[in-house]
Every structure is written in C-alpha cells, then in structure tokens.
Amino acid sequence: GDFANEVDTLVIGSGPGGYVAAIRAAQLGQKVTIVEKGTLGGVCLNVGCIPSKALISAGHRYHNAKHSEDMGVTAEGVSINFDKVQEWKGSVVKKLTGGVEGLLKGNKVEIVQGEAYFASENSVRIMDEKSSQTYNFKNCIIATGSSPIELPSFKYTERVINSTGALALKEVPKKMVVIGGGYIGIELTGAYSNMGTEVVVLEGGKQILPGFEKQMSKLVEKRLKKNGVAFHTEALAKGVEETENGVKVTAEVKGKEEVFEADYVLVTVGRKPNTEELGLEQIGVEMTERGLIKTDKQCRTNVSNIYAIGDIIEGPALAHKASYEGKIAAEAIAGEKSEIDYLAIPAVVFSDPELATVGYSEQEAKDAGYDIVAAKFPFAANGRALSLNDTDGFMKLITRKEDGLVIGAQIAGPNASDMIAELGLAIETGMTAEDIALTIHAHPSLGEITMEAAEVAIGTPIHIV
C-alpha cells in the first residue's frame, strides 16, 4: 500500500538468528515484524543443520543394520527407499518450520514474505513478486545469513551441486566427488557413504576438518576410509566436464593431474555472507574486507539503531551462535546491558565418531599463555561405550594448572555433541576439575567419561592408570 507501516523492531531473515531475535524482542514488549524472502527457519532448518542430521541418522540406521555382526546381529535384505528417506526428512523440516511460524505468531510477531532492502537508516522496502511496501522501524536486526560459495569453474547444475543440492538428491549416488573437507563436506560424506555411496574427498589443505586437532580428524578419516571413502589432500580441483549421466572432475593432486568420474560432484568450499543485496552501502554500514558486517559487543553496527547477527558477522558460522546473538541484540534494543561473551561456543561435527569442542584447545591455551593440564580419558575405558560397541575416541579436558579451572574441552566419540554441553556449562560457571570430579555421574553412561577426565586432571582417576 501507500502508507508506511510503523514498527519498533524489524528483523530481516528468519534463520536461527532472526527468529530467535524476533521472539526475544517481542517478549521484551516490542512491536516486531520479521521479513523472510525464502522459508521460515532459514538455512539451518530448511537446508542446513536439521536436514543434514536427518540424512545422517538414516545413514546410521542403514549402516548399523548391515554391520552389527560383531554383536551377533545380522539382517538380510536391508535396503534403502531413498524417496521415503527424503519424505521423512521433509516431514522433520516441516514440523520445525511450522513450529517456528507458530512461535512467532504466538508471540504476536508479524511475518512478512518478501525481500528487504534499506531505503534509509529507518526504513526498508519489502518486495515480493506482486507488490512492494515500506516499513519504518526504530531498530533493525539484520540476520540474512550466508550462501554457498560458487567456484567459477564449478557452476552449479543438476550434477555439480552444493550442500542444498546434496540434501535434496533423489537417489543415493553410486559415486560422488566431494570438494572441500570442512565439516559440511565431511558430514555429507559420512551420510552418503553410510548409505553406500563411493565417495572421493578432495581437500586443498593438508588435513580434513581444519580447526580440529589432528588426533580428532584422524579418527574420522579412519572410520570413513573403512567405509571406502578415498581422501586426497593438497588437491586442487580445477574443472568439471559433464558427461551423459555424470561428471568428470579434474584435479591437481600434489602437483599431478588426475581425473575423477562420478555421478555428482559436491562443492563445499565455504560460504559467503548475504550482505551484498541489502543496500547497506547507502546507509553507511561498515563492513570487513570479507563482506561481514562490523558489530560491537551488543551486535550493534556503526549505525546505532541497526544490529547484525549470525553468519553475516565475525565468528564461527553456527546456528547456536546466531541464536545467542539474536537474544543479545533484542535485549540491547530493549536497553538491557547484555553483551556477547564468546568464551564457550561449542563446535560440533556430526561425523563418525562425532567431534565436539568448547573453549580452548590445548594449543590455543598454550598460545594464550596459560600454564595448563591437558587430561585425557579414552572412550574404550568406559562401560557404556563398550556396551554400545562404539569405543573410538577420547575426551581431553584443558584446565588451568594453578587452580584447576576448566577452560576447554575436546571430545571425539559417540554422542560428543551432547556431552559437550556439560563442559560448556562448566566453563560458563567457572567450575574446576574438582567440581566435576565430585559430581556423581550415573553409571553406566558416557557422562562418566567427563567425570573421569576431571579425575585425570586432578590425579585421581579410577579406571585408568
């Protein structure tokens, strides 16, 4: 219409950053509108965290059904109906996106479908196919997220796919080349190799999963190799040729040119912030060289009523970081003193075994000048891990030598994604290894590994010598 709409807080983007920010702002009494050009829930719910974990679970079910002979369980005629897998995955996504819609409405947040573009420091134009309208706001939270990077020599097609394409495949590929051994590439490699795909991973660097300790990434590599995955590090993907029903990928592997044939090539070489098509230059919002929006400890940009959260600002591009920042920004707008504290953001890879870290790694702690104790406890010494027949892995607890303060943890092992929460809490609340060691953990549980690692830190472990 012709008249501008007036709101207190306008949120652009409804991923885990935006929808959480909108709900918190509404809880704090603001009149809130959220704009989404795609589907509620953003990347995370629609084409990221959730559907990838669903495919990973399906892969586990299939793989375990076929490979539990050690435990005396054999199954005949195990098969995958991939249409059904996709249908089930879709139903999980739909429940969650529907849930987000219900939560937004329940909090009286107005949902507007369309693409937002800044007209001024206090207004946006929202466009959809049919119409365009203006919204004036007191404050705005930008949460437009990120998109897969497209390499010039790997333009996306039906067979040259990004993570979104990989999650939407209609068949389990016989062969797939994965370019990029980051967590997204490795998680999808795991999912498909568990479902029977022969995967070749081409990684440019010296190690897959850069950012994780080599001891951890090696465990993942070993397990994937057992599944028939081939790894090539220092491999530079150069180009792709599409054949009648597949692809031929050319790569320079340690200086030597090689060709890999497959049904699909999945390119997961990083993501770029969605900050280019918002009109940010016009209103003078400062950006970094990488196109990230610069923010302060309250997620405020240099334009004082405009905030930015999630994948478009510095820091790890993770859903829980986006949500955390969303709450901070909404609270800052309401005049609260909330500030970002990145001390304990967990990072998880849903690989086999799972990897999870929080706080300092051993090396980071040393680099930061801490005198530390690095206490390790293996999953193989835990009764629950043995009874699950899943004993690859370890926990490493990093504590400050002078007082035992927990400052970091690394876990490689089954359920590392859940176990890391206890260590995040320990760091956030300033616990020492002794506090954890004195906490009674249920037996038999993987949680006991945390207690025992803490006992190693203070020199009193029972189950290892």
Nearest to residue 211, comparing CAs of 191, 228, 186, 232?
186
Rounded Cα distance between 300 and 286, Å, is: 11
Q: Is 180 annotated as a binding residue?
A: yes
Question: What DSSP designation does 170 have?
Answer: S
Q: How far is CA 312 from CA 21, 48, 86, 112, 315, in A?
A: 15, 16, 30, 21, 9
271: number of Cβ within 10 Å: 19
| 301 touches 307 (CB < 8 A) | yes
CB nearer ligand FAD, residue 42 or residue 413 = 42
**Binding positions for ligand FAD, 184-203, rule CB under 6 A:** 184
CB of 317 to ligand FAD, least distance (A): 4
CB atoms within 10 A of CB 403: 9
Angstrom distance (rounded) from CA 41 to CA 100: 7
Report if residue 448 touches ligand FAD, rule: CB under 6 A. no
Which SS3 state, helix, strand or coil, does residue 134 take?
Answer: strand
The verdict on 44 binding ligand FAD (CB under 6 A) reads: yes
Q: What angle do CA 398, 402, 408 make, to 5 degrees?
A: 15
Query: For ligand FAD, which stretch binds (CB under 6 A), given 250-258, 294-302, 311-319, 447-455?
Result: 311-319
Specify the 3-state DSSP secondary structure of 308: strand
Query: How far, in Å, are 220, 291, 323 from residue 215 at the CA level?
Result: 9, 33, 30
Question: Is 93 among the residues that bind ligand FAD (CB under 6 A)?
Answer: no
Window of 40-48, 89-97, 199-207, 248-256 that interacts with ligand FAD by CB under 6 A: 40-48
Instruction: Tell me: does residue 145 bind ligand FAD (CB under 6 A).
Output: yes
Is 146 annotated as belonging to a binding site?
yes
With CB under 6 A as the contact rule, the residue among 7, 25, 30, 37 that binds ligand FAD is 37
Q: Which of residues 245-274 bind ligand FAD (CB under 6 A)?
A: 274
| Pairing mode, strands 123-127 and 235-243 | unpaired
Residues with catalytic annotation?
Answer: 443
Tell me how far apart the alpha carbons of residues 462 and 419 are, in angstroms, rounded to a whole number. Answer: 20
Contact map string, positions 274 to 293, toward ligand FAD, x by CB under 6 A: x---x---------------
Give 201's strand partners.
178, 231
- Residue 187 marked as a ligand binder: yes
| Cβ nearer to ligand FAD, comparing 36 with 352 | 36
C-alpha atoms less than 13 angstroms from C-alpha of 324 in its C-beta half-sphere: 18
What is the nearest approach in angstroms of ligand FAD to the Cβ of residue 192? 13
Residues in contact with 362: Cβ distance below 8 Å, sequence separation at least 6, in sequence order? 213, 372, 374, 396, 398, 408, 410
Is the CB of residue 71 less than 8 Å from the CB of residue 388? no
Which residue in 22, 26, 36, 351 binds ligand FAD (CB under 6 A)?
Answer: 36
Closer of 203 and 354 to ligand FAD (Cβ) = 354
Binding to ligand FAD by residue 359, rule CB under 6 A?
A: no
Name which of 5 and 391 has its Cβ closer to ligand FAD: 5
Output Rg (C-alpha) for the chain, integer angstroms. 24
Which residue number, 181 or 404, has a Cβ lying nearer to ligand FAD? 181
How many of the chain's residues bind ligand FAD (CB under 6 A)?
Answer: 35
Cα separation, 302 vs 445, in Å, equals 49
Shortest Å distance, C-beta 42 to ligand FAD:
3
- Are the C-beta atoms of residues 215 and 353 closer than 8 Å to each other? no
59 is in an annotated binding site: no
Cβ count near 91 (within 10 Å) = 11
Q: Looking at 195, 293, 319, 328, which residue binds ligand FAD (CB under 6 A)? A: 319
Q: Looking at 4, 5, 8, 38, which residue binds ligand FAD (CB under 6 A)? A: 38
163 binds ligand FAD (CB under 6 A): yes
* Tokens describing residue 29: 């009494």
The response to whether 203 counts as a known ligand-binding position is: yes
Which residue of the chain is nearest ligand FAD when measured via CB?
145
Amino acid at the residue 5: N
- Least Å distance, CB 335 to ligand FAD, is 23
* Residue 144 marked ligand-binding: yes
Considering the rule CB under 6 A, would residue 9 count as an interface residue with ligand FAD? no
- By CB under 6 A, residue 42 contacts ligand FAD: yes
First vs last C-alpha separation in the chain? 74
Q: Does 17 bind ligand FAD (CB under 6 A)?
A: yes
Q: Which of 7, 11, 22, 35 binds ligand FAD (CB under 6 A)?
A: 35
Select the span of 10-18, 169-177, 280-288, 435-443 touching ligand FAD (CB under 6 A): 10-18
**In degrees rounded to 5, what are phi and psi of residue 277?**
-110, 40
Partnered with residue 116 across adjacent β-strands are 126
Contact with ligand FAD (CB under 6 A) among 33, 122, 146, 361 = 146
Residue ranges at the known binding site for FAD: 53, 144-146, 311
Residue ranges at the known binding site: 53, 144-146, 180-187, 203, 270, 311
- Residues of this chain that bind ligand FAD (CB under 6 A): 12-18, 35-38, 42-44, 48-49, 52, 115-116, 143-146, 163, 184, 274, 278, 310-311, 317-320, 322, 350
